[in-house]
Structure 1
Amino acid sequence: MLCQFTVKNFKSIRDEITFDMQATAISEHENRLIKDKDGELYLPVSAIYGPNGGGKSNVLESLHILVAKILRPLYATEDSNTYPFQMKKIVIEPFAFEMIKKEKPTEFQLFFRTSQAEYRYILMVKKDIIIYERLDRIKLDTRRRSALFERSDEEIILKGVFTKFKISDELSETLPLLSYLGITYKKNEVIKDVLGWFESGIAFLNYGNPIQELRMAVANSEAVKQLMIEMIQEMDLDIVDFRVEEKENGRIEVFTSHRVNEYEAELNLSEESSGTRKLFGLLPFIAASLLDGTTLIIDELDAKLHPVLLRHIIMLFNDMEINRQGAQLIFTSHDLSTMNSEVFRRDEIWFAAKGNAENSKLYSLVEFKNENGESVRKDAKFDKQYLEGKYGADPYLKKIIDWGKVNV
């Protein structure tokens, strides 16, 4: 699972920001938390709100860029059609509005957990060149901490279980050491554990082609298809089944079966509403995440999705009877119908907004304090106060207009 992610000097993100999936000590929906084997508590969902251009998408994109930076070398010799989004050219852009920041590296720090350990991975990159890299581990059963490697401009130091590894003297300065180890020592248990999370423990939607990827998601698992059908029926749609048909040149077509009373008819997915088409782009990944316990990242989850369906999807992850594997859903949204204390804890609501220097800021509702130093009450009307601009991330305007001061 994703524990915590920090990024600095990336696109609109000038200063260090941290996105945290660790649960804070608040008395809200305590039965909706993921409890790991060592007793640590994590959030199953988090939503980022804010105005267009505030930096919501850049927060998620920075995480996507980091994951792609690691995976791309691993897939470089394989069929690129199988891994389309990972094979796209990676461009790591620093903060654009300060010359000094353009000359500084972009910094990433990632904490994540597998069934065996918690890892901390640090990567600093300047114009595609690796400036610094480090990997550390804490074993969950013994709580033993160990450094695995550290790389700087001057040297590479292998530590712990990596001590016996050999590194080429001609290691490319643009190639992450973690990727190199994945290529060279892919059978090593620790390497498999770390890179297994990058490959299968986290997934991104809206960076590829969801409908095309539906073929792989459904074809690989009958359980995914069955859970999709169950979710569709729970949403009170009249779709009782669907099938995926292979066409020439790798194209697919999806056909949905509808039943109204005793009459059943089949439609091409292209004939369905935009909302239904969006569901078929989403549900394979929702189902796979819940079944496998992965972290699913979605930009603009609410786009073309009815608020009732949006709430239903969120509550699937909140329900620990359904979400038995510890899956996580992280998304950006403009929809305010779900911004309330029934759906979210305060530490699950995040805001992205721009400062005076066009720099994005990120903070959660639980850490927000007003000008009097008061925290937001857990029974507050989150959506209403957000619209009033009380959380510092007005959804529509850079500044609130005080209509009482306007001459009429």
Structure 2
Amino acid sequence: MLCQFTVKNFKSIRDEMTFDMQATAISEHEDRVIKDKDGELYLPVSAIYGPNGGGKSNVLEALHILAAKVLRPLYATDGNSYHPFQMKKILIEPFAFGAEEKEAPTEFELFFRTKTAEYRYVLTVKKDIVLYERMDRVKLDTGRRSALFERSDEGIELKGVFAKLKISDELSETLTLLSYLGITYRKNEVIKDILNWFGYGIDFLNYGNPIQELRMAIANSDDVKSLVLDMIQEMDLDIVNFRVEEMENERIEVYTKHIVDGYESELNLSDESSGTKKLFELLPFIADGLASGTTLVIDELDAKIHPVLLRHIIMMFNDMEINRHGAQLIFTSHDLSTMNSEVFRRDEIWFVAKGNRQNSKLYSLVEFKNDKGESVRKDAKFDKQYLEGKYGADPYLRKIIDWGKVNA
């Protein structure tokens, strides 16, 4: 589960920016939160809105870059060639519109939870070089806090349960210590717990090879297939079933079963409409995420699906009887049909827009205050006020038009 993510000096993000999945103490939809074993409350959904070019995608990309920086060395050494998304070249670009920022490092801070612990990971990188790194842990059953390691100009210090581990004197300055520990001590339970979250606890949706990924997502899980069929039928399509057939050279073919006026027919997915193909690229990941409790991160989710299905997906994550494993959905969107108090809590709606120096600002609806210092009412017409530019991130303008109290 993702708890909180902070980034500074990355692309359009100049100043420190924090994206928070912790539920705030507000009164709406109190049944739509994830309650962890220690009583802490987290959000199942968050949507980021804002104009094109405002920096929405950069928030998600920063999170992906951090995960890729950790995972890429592990994938390069595990002998498995199929990691195309994570194996893309990592480019950590600082804020471009300031001489001081261009020479400064990029800073990341991440809080995440597994079944047993909450971890805090800090990474400071200049281009490809690691300048600072730290990992801390809180055990959920006891609440005990402990440092695991710290890496700085003064050297590397392994602490707590990592104190007896050994580190090479020739550790590459471009390799994160967390990656090194994952490569060297793969069977260590704490290291495995941490890296399993990076590898499987959070998923950045990739459309690079959708059919191959479809096979991986569906696998042989009846739960995943059942959820996919439920979502397809929510779209009122005449698809009543589908099957995945393994071919030679690990190729697969997907066949959809239709019943029209009592007549049953089967089509190859390649013969379906482009909209249906998009559904089959997306829905297995949504279903698999719900079934396994994954944090799904999707850029421009609304561009890929119909608004009716978008609402249905959001409400599935909000329904704790369906979302039994604490899955989270984080996405950027322009769709206003779902921006209302029936679908979202105020702390689940985020905005990104640019200031006068082309620097992106991120803020949630629950923290927004107008010029009079007034908060947004929970029964307000969120979509209408957004279109009127009352929340600062005007959908038709790239820059902030009115910050109110948010302009820190």
CA distance in 1, matches of 2:168, 2:181: 11
Deviation at 1:153, TM superposition (A): 1.9
1:336-378 residue CA offsets vs partner (Å, 9 max, x unmatched): 0000000000000000100100011000000000111110000
What stretches of structure 1 of length at least 5 have no aligned partner?
402-408
Unaligned runs of 5+ in 2: 402-408
**What's 1:233 paired with?**
233
Spell out, residue by residue over 1:108-165, the C-alpha distance to the aligned partner (whole angstroms, 9 max, x if none).
0000000100000000000100000000000011100000000012200111010000
1:243 match: 243
CA contact (8 A) 2:49 2:350 kept: yes
Shift of 1:268: 2.1
Give the conservation status (yes or no) of the 8 Å contact 1:85–1:207: no
Tell me, what secondary structure is at the counterpart of 2:118?
A: strand
Which region of structure 1 is more displaced relative to structure 2, 269-278 or 118-127? 269-278
Q: Deviations over 1:31-81 (max 9, x none)?
A: 111000011000000000000000000000000010011110111024554
- Note closer, same or farther for the CA distance 1:391–1:267 as it changes in structure 2 (3 Å cut): same
CA distance in structure 1 between the aligned counterparts of 2:212 and 2:358, rounded to whole angstroms: 36
**Paired residue type of 2:162:** F
Alignment of 1:66-145 (within 5 A): 66-79=66-79, 81-145=81-145
User: Structure 1 residues 219, 62: closer, same or farther in 2, change over 3 A?
Assistant: same
Residue aligned with 2:77, SS = coil
CA RMSD of aligned residues (A): 1.5
In 1: Cα distance, 2:7 partner to 2:122 partner: 10
> Secondary structure, in 3 states, of the residue corresponding to 1:31?
coil
On the 8 A contact 2:355/2:399 being kept in 1, the answer is no
- The residue that corresponds to 1:37 in the other structure is 37
Residue matched to 1:374: 374
Paired position in structure 2 for 1:405: none
Q: TM-score, normalised by structure 1?
A: 0.95
CA distance in 1 between counterparts of 2:46 and 2:275 reads 22
- The corresponding residue for 1:195 is 195
CA distance in 2, matches of 1:158, 1:247: 48
Per the alignment, residue 406 of structure 2 pairs with none
Look up the SS of the partner of 1:104 in the other structure. Answer: coil
Return the offset for 1:230: 2.9
Identity across matched positions, percent: 82
Equivalent in the alignment of 1:365: 365
Give the conservation status (yes or no) of the 8 Å contact 1:109–1:123: yes
CA–CA distance in 2 between the matches of 1:400 and 1:169?
A: 49
Cα distance between partner residues in 2 of 1:361 and 1:81: 38
Amino acid at match of 1:344: F
The aligned counterpart of 1:6 is: 6
Structure 1 window deviating more from structure 2 (340-349 vs 231-240): it is 231-240
Q: Deviations over 1:214-267 (max 9, x none)?
A: 111122534322321233234432111112234455443322111123211112
CA contact (8 A) 2:347 2:364 kept: yes
Q: What is the CA-CA distance between 1:306 and the residue it aligns to?
A: 1.1
Find the counterpart in structure 2 of residue 48 from structure 1.
48
CA shift, 1:326, in A, is 0.6
1:90, 1:78 → 2: CA distance? 19
- Structure 2: how far apart are the matches of 1:18 and 1:214? 33
Q: Distance in 2 between matches of 1:90 and 1:164?
A: 32
1:268 matches 2:263: no
SS of 1:227's equivalent?
A: helix
Q: Is 2:288 the partner of 1:288?
A: yes
Q: Is the alpha carbon distance of 1:264 and 1:79 closer, same or farther for their aligned partners in structure 2, counting shifts above 3 Å?
A: farther
Deviations 1:352-407 (A, max 9, x none): 10010001100000000011111000000000000000000011123699xxxxxx
